[in-house]
Amino acid sequence: MPLNLGEVVPDFESETNEGPIKFHEWLGNSWAILFSHPRDYTPVCTTELGRAAKLAPEFQRRGVKMIALSCDDAESHRGWIKDLEAYCGVGSGKFPYPIIADHDRTLAVKFGMLDPDELNNEGMPLTARVVYVIGPDHKVKTLILYPATSGRNFDEILRIIDSLQLVAKHNVVTPVDWKSGDKVIVPPTVPAADLAKNYPKGVEVQPLPSGKEYLRYTPQP
């Protein structure tokens, strides 16, 4: 089963293309994304991990570490990374994040990452396209799960990270299709008497047929 929101991601030791890691030691007190892909040397995975590499400066700007995972071995990762570097144009030897080698499927099983409907040539399930956004407290803040057949949108992953980091600092929530810089919503738990003190940029109440003043917007802090 996948890890639940709010659950601490268990520590583990694993081999990567960059050598062995201890996950919690690698993570430190940073935000991170741990994301799995079905297989090295496959077309959709190449577009995904190449796109993630291209966006690495955006993740770094947000203080977010990146680490990928599949059931291939470390030598396969090292060879495939040459294709990824060529695809995304980051330059040889400059691939920006490690890829975990989970060839015995230990972590894929532990973290609920297998897609039972997609099998390899040996009849073994492939890794699904899972994303865990992990907070500095090592807890799962967001889980996104795609089947092996559908590529992810890494711009959306950046968007949810922006939301998570904003609401971690301020008592606001983000509405549908929110992007950084848009108005945010005042939580319904905040009393009307506290609005002026807590939201100095002002609060706009959206009129609704019910007459209930629960949809309250404020500029992003």
Would you please indicate which residues are annotated as catalytic (active-site) residues? 45, 137
Residue 3, C-beta contacts closer than 8 angstroms, at least 6 positions apart = 9, 111, 112, 132, 140, 143
- The DSSP bridge pattern shows strands 114-119 and 125-127 to be antiparallel
Q: Which of 186, 71, 192, 199 is nearest to 126 (CA)?
A: 71
Distance CA(26)–CA(21), nearest Å, equals: 7
Q: Is there a contact between 130 and 144 (Cβ–Cβ < 8 Å)?
A: yes
Distance CA(46)–CA(95), nearest Å, equals: 13
Q: Where are the alpha helices (DSSP H) in 55-142?
A: 56-61, 74-88, 106-110
DSSP state of 67: E
